[in-house]
Structure 1
Amino acid sequence: MKAETTPAPEARKGMPSPRLDRAEFTRRYLSQFQDPAFEPLAPELDRIVAAAWDAYLNSRKAPRTSKAGPTFADPDYDLANDWLAARSAIDVAQRQHEDPALPARILVINASPRTEHSCPSEMSKSWRLVELAKEVFAAEPEVLFECLDLSRLISEYGRHIHPCKACFSTAAALCHWPCSCYPNYSLGQTQDWMNDIYPMWVAAHGIMIITPVHWYMATSPLKLMMDRLVCADGGNSDPTTTHGKHADEAKQLELDGWAYPRHLKDRLFSVVVHGDAEGTENVRRSLTDWLRSMELRPAGATAELDRYIGYWKPYATSHDELDRDEAIQEEIRNAARTLVEAVKAHRRGLMVEAGSGLSDPREK
């Protein structure tokens, strides 16, 4: 006898519409063409605005699609080509991750937005610490490493991480893995970096995050990436089961019993947080708690670090303080060494964490 299922509640609605009229849409669209070089192109821009307005008016979020195919619950459903390409890249990365014949892979992340190629006019201390870690990884013949430099969100043309829309909070199954919220061509929400970032996390056996403190918290670029990684922790790898973003279908799937797949489970992590005056311990704890909640594993005590560089001293001399602080330089190297050692042991099945085989009675 089949057990009764709980009927899904209706999605709550009632917030004001964000829709623009044509005049305001045109004003906003053309605001990106302020350079006088565009003035001779006014007729062409008028035609482009008309096409963009049509896409906006008709909500063509994903204008180029393909049939999902036989590996999906609804083979005839039209999936965005962008999403299919992202899913394919993740599949390749997962095979790389699982292949014991391939070298171990480390992803080291510079989470500081500061860069000499933008307004600060100087490199970040985080970048210098990343360089120290990279020296350790480069010296390991059985290790490949990749650097994700989040400062490029600020300094490089066409780099964006768009905000998470919190689909997971409507229902877990509505949050797709990888994220299907972007690109949204009708709203101009394009050039999203996450489809390149997801495979970096998936392929990695070890993740090292190096970040400063910004106002007692993680930096803006790091937090954007963190929020968009929610789909890696319980997200739905088959958008055809919800036929895109149908909240009622997603709610029913969750209430029928959702598996909460942990797509980044068992990767090892290292976290380094540095600051000038306040907040390092709290940020380090929040980051390690976040990673543990996604069922990544700590590499070891020496891979988790919070330190002050030039404590309550002038910002103008902070790089000089780092030059003099040879202890933190060696601690960074030790954090990288610990991560490498843990990754190698884990891949050989020699890293044992008490309780790791127990099932969690309470999912997200």
Structure 2
Amino acid sequence: MPLIRDGIRLLIASSSPREYGSVRIVAKIVEGFAKDIEGVEAIHIDVYDYDIKPCLGCVSDDVMLCRYPCVIEDDMRKLYEYIVNSDGIIFITPIYWYNVPGPMKNFIDRLTVFENAIFTEGRSRLEGKVASFIAIGNDTGSIAVIQNLMAIMNSMGVVIPPWALAYHTSDEDPLENESFILDVANVVRCTVLMIKALKGIEKPIYWYRADDEYKTLVKKIARDIANNYLSSIL
């Protein structure tokens, strides 16, 4: 594994009720791509593993009431710290009727305290962070999910890089979809490149990578990570 470079931290936020599900497997692959290929620090959380209560909509009563830390005492207090300390977030979600599952919706709604810091602190706490998106489902709706997440995140001040999306919509194993796995690897790559560009560390020469060496590398890493992860939980 390469040394962690440039102090870059990624938060991988997935939303799957099944440990053995495709979303969690892909999240582990994303974590591996971040560490093994890009050489950055990555933390994976799945929102189903946390107590995340629905937003109370305090901002509707008084814009100044919605401030960090949120008045709700639950696991978001810990997750807020992960977000504050990250340079970028990669969202990985299944498709629930053209949208994200309830726990992920709660997670996103509760980010309002960061966005509303525009009014309470003078600047969104999410401003300048980078976000990318991966959707996995058996049926249609991937683009609806992704475009919704993109609109929300951009409205909170988040930067969206080129090639910031990957999606698989089939009942076949996502790991057998080589184009999807390549897109996933490039989601990680472009997220890191955008963070580096914003920090002034590196100006990207090109973004999406699709040479044979890279394809072989990501395919092997993805398969190894998936096999190791499934062996650990089954």
For normalisation by structure 2, the TM-score amounts to 0.78
Shift of the alpha carbon at 1:197? 0.5
TM-aligned CA deviation for residue 274 of structure 1: 1.8
- Residue 349 (structure 1) shift: 6.3
Hey, what's the Cα distance between the residues in 2 that align with 1:172 and 1:351? Answer: 38
Distance 1:349 1:326 in 2: 31
Letter paired with 2:184: I
Q: Note the C-alpha offset of 1:141.
A: 6.9
After TM superposition, where is structure 1 displaced by more than 3 Å over at least 4 residues in a row? 349-352
Pick closer, same or farther for the CA change 1:291–1:262 going to 2, 3 Å. same
Q: 2:58 aligns with which of 167, 172, 181?
A: 167
Report if the CA contact (8 A) 2:28-2:44 is conserved: no
Q: Does the alignment pair 1:306 with 2:171? A: no
SS of the equivalent of 1:305 reads strand
- Alpha-carbon distance in structure 2 between the residues aligned to 1:148 and 1:280: 21
Q: Deviations over 1:67-103 (max 9, x none)?
A: xxxxxxxxxxxxxxxxxxxxxxxxxxxxxxxxxx961
State the aligned residue count.
Answer: 200
8 Å contact from structure 2 (residues 167, 180) kept in 1: no
In structure 2, C-alpha distance between the alignment counterparts of 1:289 and 1:207, rounded to whole Å: 15
Structure possessing the higher relative contact order (Cα contacts under 8 Å, 6 or more residues apart): 2
1:206/1:259 CA distance change after superposition, 3 Å: closer
> Which structure has the larger Rg?
1
How do residues 276-287 of structure 1 correspond to structure 2 at under 5 angstroms? Answer: 276-287=138-149
1:89-168 superposed matches below 5 A: 103-115=7-19, 123-140=20-37, 142-153=39-50, 160-168=51-59
In 1, the alpha carbon distance for the partners of 2:196 and 2:6 equals 12
Asked if structure 2 preserves the Cα contact closer than 8 Å seen for 1:172 and 1:235, the reply is: no
- SS of 2:96 mapped into structure 1: coil
Shift of 1:151: 2.8
In structure 2, C-alpha distance between the alignment counterparts of 1:234 and 1:200, rounded to whole Å: 18
Residue of structure 1 in register with 2:215 after alignment: none
Cα shift at 1:278? 2.0
Counterpart residue number, 1:80:
none
Structure 2 match to 1:210: 92
Q: Structure 1 counterpart of 2:140, which letter?
A: E
CA distance in 2, matches of 1:276, 1:142: 32
Instruction: Give, in angstroms, the shift of residue 140 of structure 1.
Output: 4.9
Tell me the CA shift for residue 351 of structure 1: 6.3
**Structure 2 stretches of 5 or more lacking a match?**
205-234
Distance 1:342 1:271, change over 3 A: same
* Residue aligning to 2:178: 326
Secondary structure at 1:298's aligned position in 2? coil
Q: What is the SS of the residue equivalent to 2:128?
A: coil
Contact kept? 1:113, 1:219, Cα under 8 Å = no
Percentage of pairs with the same residue:
23
**TM-score if structure 1 supplies the norm length?**
0.51
Partner of 1:341: 193
Specify the SS of the correspondent of 1:176.
coil
| Distance in 2, Cα, partners of 1:105 & 1:166 | 30
What SS does the aligned partner of 1:297 have?
coil
- The answer as to whether partners of 2:168 and 2:174 remain within 8 angstroms in 1 is no
The Cα shift of 1:290 comes to: 0.5
Q: Secondary structure of 1:274's match?
A: strand
Q: Which residue of 2 aligns with 1:220?
A: 102
Q: Deviations over 1:207-238 (max 9, x none)?
A: 100111112211111001011111101148xx
Find the residue that maps to 1:177 and give its secondary structure.
Answer: coil
